[in-house]
Structure 1
Amino acid sequence: MLFLYGLTILAGIANAIQPGQNATLSKSLGLPITAGLITLLVSTAALLIGGLAIGKLEVPSGQQLAAVPWWAWLGGFLSVLLILAQLYASPAIGAASFLGIIVTVGVAVSILLDHYGWVGFPVHPASLWRILGAVLMTAGVALVALF
């Protein structure tokens, strides 16, 4: 379990750094959509090489593919949305505001997802404390964005 928390911390660090990297790639090339595609291709290559290296890459069976809910196939579209926001919004609003908004909106939406058990998450009721935490995060992001 400790490994998973460490992985999550590293993902948070990556989440703060990646918009600047992707925006710089876009600016250097002068081709934002091409930069987004390159980002996804690098991600695909990293997953492919990593999966092969640790022996965890397998081709799913037809039965496994058929068992996937329709909405689970749409995650790639959400990745594209995040990359486009990194390419266009992050350079304009800055790293702190960008990441603050992404994380705060993510927490608020995740409270809803947990409360109703949507998109495969187990039900975790939206308590007053969780909602208060989201409100405080919103206030914090507002301060970061304004000052």
Structure 2
Amino acid sequence: MWYFYGFVLLAGIANAIQPGMNGALAKNLPQPLVAGLVVGAGTVLSILTVGLISGRLSLPSYEQATQIPWWAWFGGVLGGGIVITQLLIARQIGAAPFLGVLVTAGVATSIALDHFGWVGFEQHPATLWRILGGLLMIVGVAVVAMT
């Protein structure tokens, strides 16, 4: 399972690069939100391609769909919000502060999600070390954003 961390590392690198790419696209199109549609189409094509190649693509039955919590269907809306933020804000504040705030907010939120076992995560207590790590990230982002 160690190789999973390699894929996450690559996703993190892509997460740092994507706002610049999306911002450049938004800047050079007549309307910046059109870039979001291009990004969304690329996302759909990527998932479709990997799903078809791997054989891991099928629609749920009605019964399966009704067993899924209502809130689980709205993750794509959150992803859309992230892309819109990339398109409209990332270039103005810079790559380091943008990604620093994005990741740090995600880590701080994740500590709470893990602690309470919300939105489908197993419970993992918010230990002193986890909280301290989150606080250190906040301080680090503040330093990066100030300079």
TM-score bracket relative to the smaller structure:
over 0.9
Show the counterpart of 1:5: 5
Please, what is the CA RMSD of the aligned residues? Answer: 0.8
- Runs of 4 or more above 2 Å deviation: none
* Segment drifting more, 126-135 vs 57-66: 57-66
Within 2, Cα distance between the matches of 1:2 and 1:129? 23
Within 1, Cα distance between the matches of 2:64 and 2:3? 28
**Matched-pair identity in %:** 53
Show the counterpart of 1:81: 81
Q: Gaps (5+ residues) in structure 2?
A: none
Show the counterpart of 1:42: 42
Within 2, Cα distance between the matches of 1:101 and 1:116? 23
Q: What TM-score, normalized by structure 1, do the two folds share? A: 0.97
Show the counterpart of 1:30: 30
Show the counterpart of 1:108: 108
Within 2, Cα distance between the matches of 1:78 and 1:97? 20
Within 2, Cα distance between the matches of 1:60 and 1:123? 27
Q: Gaps (5+ residues) in structure 1?
A: none
SS at match of 2:91: helix
SS at match of 2:73: helix
SS at match of 1:16: helix
Show the counterpart of 1:60: 60
SS at match of 2:124: coil
1:60-94 per-residue CA deviation (whole Å, 9 max, x = no partner) reads: 11111111100001101101110011011100100
Q: What count of residue pairs does the alignment treat as equivalent?
A: 147
